[in-house]
């Protein structure tokens, strides 16, 4: 069995150290995923909390994938559901899910870059943004994305290619990329 799943199982049984380790490892990534989808730092924090709650309280059918993918899928679905349900929007740079280093200048630069990337992703149409988010933030394979969205594998790959290409073009126009 995957060591991440062992850690997860220990946390489900009440081991506080395992719980803290999982929270520390996945909180920022799940938060970034939810923030990109909902556009609200407050809603993203709620989605992360609900993700862990559902993961720990639900029945697991299959552990064939990664824990990262499992948690990412829960967060993705909750964030999309919340986005469709809510119109609350907060500035994307309000909460730091980036995990930057201790140097203040590096933190400012990283936040600014992340803000530009988030804006570029936000300008994509829903179909392209969805595939990009599942691949980059929910850690899903192309095959898993195709199954999750009910799309042919070629369509997923094509959408991913054009999503990345569009983001690069946007970032070049803004002067973020050379």
113 and 148 housed in the same domain: yes
pLDDT in tens, 54-104: 888 877 666 667 888 888 888 988 988 888 776 544 445 554 555 544 566
Over the chain, what is the mean pLDDT? 81
87 and 109 housed in the same domain: no
Containing 22, the helix (H) or strand (E) segment is helix 16-38
**What is the per-residue pLDDT for 101?**
47
What gap in Å lies between CA 59 and CA 74, rounded to an integer?
A: 13
- Say if residue 33's pLDDT is above 80: yes
Could you tell me the pTM of the whole model? Answer: 0.57
CATH code of the domain containing 58:
1.10.1740
77 and 15 housed in the same domain: yes
**What is the per-residue pLDDT for 160?**
93
- Say if residue 165's pLDDT is above 90: yes
Cα–Cα distances in Å, from 35 out to 3, 18, 32, 91, 140? Answer: 28, 25, 5, 10, 18
> What DSSP state is assigned to residue 64?
-
Residue 112's CB is within 10 A of a number of other CB atoms, namely: 12
pLDDT in tens, 12-24: 888 889 888 888 8
132 and 75 housed in the same domain: no
For residue 138, give both structure tokens.
Answer: 């929910």
107 and 86 housed in the same domain: no
Tokens 């938060």 sit on residue: 31
- Residue 74 included in any domain: yes
Domain of residue 165: give its range: 102-178
42 and 112 housed in the same domain: no
Per the structure, the count of domains in the chain is 2
What gap in Å lies between CA 63 and CA 104, rounded to an integer?
A: 40
> What DSSP state is assigned to residue 175?
T
- What percent of the chain lies above the pLDDT cut of 90? 16
């Amino acid at each position: 069995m995957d060591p991440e799943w062992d850690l997860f199982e220990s946390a489900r049984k009440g081991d506080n150290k395992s719980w803290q380790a999982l929270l520390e490892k996945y909180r920022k990534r799940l938060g970034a995923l939810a923030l990109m989808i909902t556009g609200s730092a407050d809603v993203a924090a709620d989605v992360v909390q609900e993700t862990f709650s559902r993961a720990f309280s639900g029945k697991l059918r299959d552990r064939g994938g990664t824990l990262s993918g499992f948690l990412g899928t829960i967060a993705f679905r909750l964030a999309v559901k919340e986005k469709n349900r809510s119109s609350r929007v907060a500035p994307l740079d309000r909460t730091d899910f980036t995990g930057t280093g201790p140097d203040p200048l590096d933190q400012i630069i990283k936040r600014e870059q992340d803000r530009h990337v988030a804006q570029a992703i936000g300008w994509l149409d829903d179909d392209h943004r969805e595939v990009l988010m599942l691949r980059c933030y929910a850690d899903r394979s192309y095959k898993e994305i195709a199954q999750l969205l009910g799309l042919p594998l070629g369509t997923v790959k094509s959408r991913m290619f054009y999503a990345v290409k569009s983001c690069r073009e946007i970032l070049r126009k803004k002067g973020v990329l050379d």
